[in-house]
Amino acid sequence: MAKLYFYYASMNAGKSTNLLQADFNYRERGMNTVLFTAGIDTRSGTGRIGSRIGLDRSAIAFDADTDLAATVLAAEGPIACVLVDEAQFLTAAQVDQLAMLADVQRIPVLAYGLRTDFRGDLFPGSARLLAIADSLVELKSVCECGRKATMNLRVDASGKAVAEGQQTEIGGEDRYVALCRKHFTERLAAAAG
């Protein structure tokens, strides 16, 4: 039975690296995959999944109007796996499409993304994945204190915590710091107060 997997973590935990390794494993065995990434994230270029360790691969850029299921079903040859980077940017309807691919089409779906935003709130795509995924896998990252990092703190150009703003602001190490809940809460409270 194919499953819908949600691999989630804070920033800098290696989500894209893990996705690219899984894709390589399928392709090395001669199996076809379909890769998606959020069109809003152009850090590696539009329609590219890139990791900080230098791996990258082209992917289909999605936005809120993309029909993921139709795109997969229109792909050439049998599809062995669907891999989604930046899954936090999926809509709930798109997550349901991915579940249908696993349940009806029997295609495994591996979705990788953030669980929460810079305020500690769930992203819509992540909330739906947490609700319906068959398997939830937390990838580990490390806080500056050595504890497990579970939160994403947005920072300004001087490294000071940002407490207000839009939920989505694309950035990497220049805009976000992965922290444990204790240090996230302390720095966010200092910025808000």
Given the residues 86, 164, 169, 186, the one annotated as active site: 86
Question: Nearest-CA neighbor of 13 among 142, 183, 109, 127?
Answer: 142
DSSP class of residue 32? E
Rounded (10°) CA dihedral 139, 108, 29, 41 = -60
Q: pTM for the complete prediction?
A: 0.87
Q: What is the pLDDT of residue 18?
A: 92
Helix, strand, coil distribution of the chain in percent, nearest 5? 30, 30, 45
Q: What is the pLDDT of residue 5?
A: 98
Q: If the chain, 193 residues long, is cut into consecutive pieces of 10 residues, what is the mean pLDDT of each piece?
A: 94 88 96 92 69 80 96 94 96 98 98 90 95 96 91 80 62 74 86 72
Answer yes or no: do 84 and 166 share one domain.
no
> Do residues 142 and 104 touch, judged by C-beta distance below 8 A?
no
Q: What is the pLDDT of residue 92?
A: 97
User: Which of 120, 140, 160 corresponds to the end of one domain?
Assistant: 140
**3-state SS class at 4:** strand
Answer yes or no: do 13 and 79 share one domain.
yes
CA atoms within 13 A on the CB side of 122: 12
86 is catalytic: yes
Answer yes or no: do 84 and 175 share one domain.
no
Answer yes or no: do 60 and 135 share one domain.
yes
| Total domain count, the chain | 2
Query: What type of residue is 18?
Result: N
- Residue 192 tokens read as 């808000």
Answer yes or no: do 155 and 79 share one domain.
no
Question: Nearest-CA neighbor of 111 among 58, 188, 34?
Answer: 34
Answer yes or no: do 94 and 111 share one domain.
yes
Answer yes or no: do 102 and 188 share one domain.
no
